[in-house]
Amino acid sequence: MARMWIAVPLLVLVACGCYGAKAIRQPISVDVTEQNVKTLVEQQAIMNAAIKDLQEKSARQEEMLRSLRADTQTRLQELSEGVDALSNKVGDQIQRRIYAPPPEYNPSGGAIPSVVTPVDSAGNAQPVPLSPAQTKAIYDAAYLDLNRGNYSLALLGFREYLTKAFDTELADNAQYWIGECYYAQRDFQRAITEFSKVEESYPKGDKVPAALLKIAYSQLQLEDRAAARATLRDLIRRFPKSEEAATARAKLPSLE
């Protein structure tokens, strides 16, 4: 009898142990699995919708940027064309004023007599002398062309100014800008020739130091370092207090 009482608890324990093992090994229910899959699908759908929304916004922004770039380019083109048209109009007006005959005062009214063109002894027409305002207009038009990069027109303008106002206050400036036109076009040998004329024609002009400095720069462009050093030293010696001399002093050490 005692053995039977001992066996019963053992059977109970064995039975409980087996049930516990079965409970641990019991798989997740189908309902739980379906719910998890459904949640994942919903989350994936939300993510896909968010990605699609971002893609659509990005496409709209890109389209807006393309439109803005096109509009900006159009406006810049229109502005550039407007500036060119205005510059040409101003240039035409200046030229008309330069070459238009000066107005004559007729106190009695009626028709104004025509301007008589002077002739030489052989009967050849001679150019009508221009007023200071007209020659200044030629200089200004040439300087405008220089700043706009129209070097060929600027050269014509400055040369014309020199033929009509060789001995004026701006004559040495005009000669200097002729040199600048060639320098800007990288014709350095011709630039040296024209810059040298500044001192040759106007030795007391205030553009001589600047011309010497640009001669040195032109020589450097032609890889003639010895000549450039000599020109810079000459500039410092002759015009020690000028701004160009200060620039020359700063440049010389790199050429030694």
Rounded to the nearest integer, the mean pLDDT of the chain is: 78
Q: Are residues 141 and 65 in the same domain?
A: no
Q: Are residues 88 and 140 in the same domain?
A: no
| pLDDT top residue among 237 and 68 | 237
Task: Give the pLDDT confidence score for residue 142 in this predicted structure.
Answer: 96
The Cα 57–Cα 47 span in angstroms is: 15
Q: Are residues 158 and 227 in the same domain?
A: yes
Helix axes 132-147, 171-184, angle to 10 degrees: 20
Burial status of residue 251 (CB atoms within 10 A of its CB: 0-12, 13-18, 19 or more): middle
Closest CA to 133 of 106, 170, 159: 170
- What average pLDDT does range 28-37 have in this prediction? 72
Q: Are residues 246 and 136 in the same domain?
A: yes
| pLDDT top residue among 76 and 188 | 188
Last residue of a domain, one of 70, 97, 124: 97
Residue 136 has pLDDT above 90, yes or no: yes
Number of domains in the chain: 2
Per the domain annotation, does 24 fall within a domain?
Answer: no
Last residue of a domain, one of 51, 80, 97: 97
CB proximity list for 235: less than 8 A, separation 6 or greater: 209, 212, 213, 216, 242, 244, 245, 248
CB proximity list for 115: less than 8 A, separation 6 or greater: 101, 102, 104, 128
Taking the CA atoms of residue 172, residue 177, residue 182 and residue 188 in that order, the dihedral angle to the nearest 10 degrees is 60
Domain of 73, in residue numbers: 33-97
Which two structure tokens, joined as six digits, stand for 193? 């020739």
pLDDT per residue over 50-71, tens digit each?
Answer: 888 888 887 777 776 776 676 6
Task: Give the pLDDT confidence score for residue 114 in this predicted structure.
Answer: 40
CB proximity list for 244: less than 8 A, separation 6 or greater: 209, 210, 212, 213, 235
Residue 147 has pLDDT above 50, yes or no: yes
- What average pLDDT does range 210-239 have in this prediction? 97
Residue 216 has pLDDT above 80, yes or no: yes
Per the domain annotation, does 3 fall within a domain?
Answer: no
Q: Are residues 143 and 231 in the same domain?
A: yes
Model confidence at 113, pLDDT cuts 50, 70, 90, reads: very low
Please tell me the least confidently modeled range out of 12-16, 117-121, 209-213.
12-16
Residue 154 has pLDDT above 80, yes or no: yes
Burial status of residue 191 (CB atoms within 10 A of its CB: 0-12, 13-18, 19 or more): buried
Q: What is the CATH number of the domain that holds 188?
A: 1.25.40.10
Q: Are residues 82 and 137 in the same domain?
A: no
Please tell me the least confidently modeled range out of 40-49, 143-152, 227-236, 243-252.
40-49
| pLDDT top residue among 216 and 256 | 216
Q: Are residues 80 and 174 in the same domain?
A: no
Q: Are residues 221 and 160 in the same domain?
A: yes
Q: Are residues 216 and 152 in the same domain?
A: yes
Model confidence at 87, pLDDT cuts 50, 70, 90, reads: low
Phi and psi angles of residue 123, each rounded to the nearest 5 degrees, phi first: 90, 10
Q: Are residues 151 and 239 in the same domain?
A: yes
Tokens 């048209």 sit on residue: 85
Per the domain annotation, does 21 fall within a domain?
Answer: no
Last residue of a domain, one of 46, 77, 97: 97
Model confidence at 196, pLDDT cuts 50, 70, 90, reads: very high
Residue 122 has pLDDT above 80, yes or no: no
Task: Give the pLDDT confidence score for residue 55 in this predicted structure.
Answer: 84
> Hey, is 220 helix, strand or coil?
helix
- What average pLDDT does range 199-203 have in this prediction? 96
pTM: 0.54
Task: Give the pLDDT confidence score for residue 175 in this predicted structure.
Answer: 97
Per the domain annotation, does 74 fall within a domain?
Answer: yes
Judge contact between 155 and 178, C-beta under 8 A: yes
